[in-house]
Amino acid sequence: MSKTNQTPDNSGNADLKENQAQQDLCDFLSERSELDVTYEEPDDGRDRRHDCLPVARTYDGDKAEVSDFPSGKNDGRGNFSKSTYTRYRDTVNDFIQTQGVSDLMDLTPREINRYNQVTQRRDYARTTRDGLLETLEVFFKWAESEWRAPRGDNKLSETIARKREDLDVGGDEKSRAGDDNHRISTERAQVIIGDLAEFKYASRQMIEFLLIYHVGMRKSALLSINCDDVMTRKGIIQIRNRPEQTGVRLKRGNKGERDVNIASGVMSVVIDYIESNRTEPRDGSDALLTSWAGRIDDSTLYRDITGLTKCGECTDDDGKPLVKQNASDCPESIGCHDLRRVAITRMRDEGMSWDTISGRVNATVQMLKHHYDSPTHSQAAERRKEEVLNAL
């Protein structure tokens, strides 16, 4: 464990104990995760925006895994899951670092405005900026209730709320954010699958893309799969919630468990991957999707999918073609959740009933209709075509 005694903001000179803002963030995260949280230099080797960040550990000193967080234990408690912890950690830490904050009590609306401008310069979508501000708003409401941030007429949470009002991101826009810009057509998806079949047949990336596009799986479901969950003769893959064993909690916990039917062609590719191309991890994991270190995580999965869906023409600031690590900079690339949305729309276009789709992707019909089904104008017209022509 590599703890630091230096603050990671621009000054880099103040003792960590003197940075009250960092301690406040640790207290906030610790209270909600029921874990010991301190600022550390991460030792996982990932390329991060900031050198130091809050790290959660059990009270025995072990780095916290998914099952150590309250929402990963299936015990009914509603506190932070690991993914929620990560979202608050990264957002608030980014604010503290970029604004050089050492004490929340010294903050003014000016710093909120400057951070809002930072997210603008990063070219984040309005819905993304709204989500970041919403996270900050929750944190500052807590800080104000604890007398750790200004109260009275200078409440920062109210400043943030006004910034969100200025963004004017409505509920429908949130639920269907990026339908036009963060989606790919069925034709393009088939081209990607064809390229994978020709150049990267039965690769990990092909399995990832196929299972999301074929089943409409969430990230957590895909990452939870073990090789033993692939039932070849039955033509199904079992989705099971085993956070203690796999380190992955299904989005809906035990309610997310199900068996999904897999088309024979897709199943054949999965079998070929397991038998020929799956990397045997050094930890002996039975995970379906692996690297040499073990079961891959959601950031690796995200990079794989954006790497497959980038246009191939975008370059970085130096004029070099984008690679998998920065593929998300391509405006045409999409992530796992957007590919799931494409998959659900495709199922509906092919005539699958809402009830069948609901069981397959583990979401209610109402949720699917409101949040996930996003046909283009031509797709919507094609769905209505038969009924309209018969009526006329």
Q: Give one DSSP letter per residue of 258-281, joined into a string.
A: EEEE--HHHHHHHHHIIIII----
pLDDT of 323 reads 84
Q: How many CA atoms lie within 13 A of 154 on its CB side?
A: 13
Number of structural domains, the chain? Answer: 2
Domain match, 218 and 115 both: no
pLDDT of 83 reads 81
Show the domain range for 38: 16-175
Give pairs for 108-111: CB < 8 Å, separation 24+: 108/150, 108/154, 109/154, 109/156, 109/159
Domain match, 166 and 192 both: no
Instruction: Establish if 388 belongs to a structural domain.
Output: no
pLDDT of 361 reads 94
| Residue showing tokens 């276009």 | 349
The C-alpha angle 145, 148, 150, rounded to 5 degrees, equals 85
Domain match, 212 and 130 both: no
pLDDT of 374 reads 61
Tell which phi-psi region holds residue 111, choosing left (phi > 0), alpha (psi between -120 and 50) or beta. Answer: alpha
pLDDT of 392 reads 61
CATH code assigned at 299: 1.10.443.10
User: What is the Cα–Cα distance from 184 to 209, expressed in whole angstroms?
Assistant: 13
Domain match, 197 and 139 both: no
Q: How many residues does the chain have?
A: 392
User: What is the Cα–Cα distance from 368 to 374, expressed in whole angstroms?
Assistant: 10
Domain match, 217 and 276 both: yes
User: What is the Cα–Cα distance from 17 to 14, expressed in whole angstroms?
Assistant: 8
Contact 61, 1 (CB under 8 A): yes
Domain match, 170 and 122 both: yes
Domain match, 142 and 43 both: yes
Domain finish residue from 148, 175, 202? 175
Instruction: Establish if 368 belongs to a structural domain.
Output: no
User: What is the Cα–Cα distance from 111 to 236, expressed in whole angstroms?
Assistant: 53
Which phi and psi (to 5°) does residue 64 adopt? -70, 135
Domain match, 190 and 291 both: yes
Domain match, 149 and 258 both: no
Instruction: Establish if 277 belongs to a structural domain.
Output: yes
Return per-residue pLDDT of the chain as tens, 392 residues: 333 333 344 444 344 446 899 999 999 999 999 999 999 886 655 556 787 889 999 988 888 888 888 864 444 444 788 888 888 999 999 999 999 999 999 999 999 999 988 888 776 777 788 889 999 999 999 999 999 999 988 789 999 999 988 887 654 444 444 444 457 888 899 999 999 999 999 999 999 999 999 999 999 999 999 999 999 999 999 999 998 888 888 888 899 999 999 999 999 999 999 999 999 999 999 999 999 999 998 889 989 999 999 887 787 777 788 888 878 778 788 888 889 988 998 998 888 999 999 999 999 998 888 766 666 677 677 767 766 666 66
Domain finish residue from 134, 155, 175? 175
Domain match, 281 and 134 both: no
Domain match, 72 and 199 both: no
User: What is the Cα–Cα distance from 122 to 118, expressed in whole angstroms?
Assistant: 6
Domain match, 192 and 171 both: no
Domain finish residue from 132, 150, 175? 175
For residue 281 the two structure tokens come to 């991890």
Instruction: Name the DSSP class of 372.
Output: I
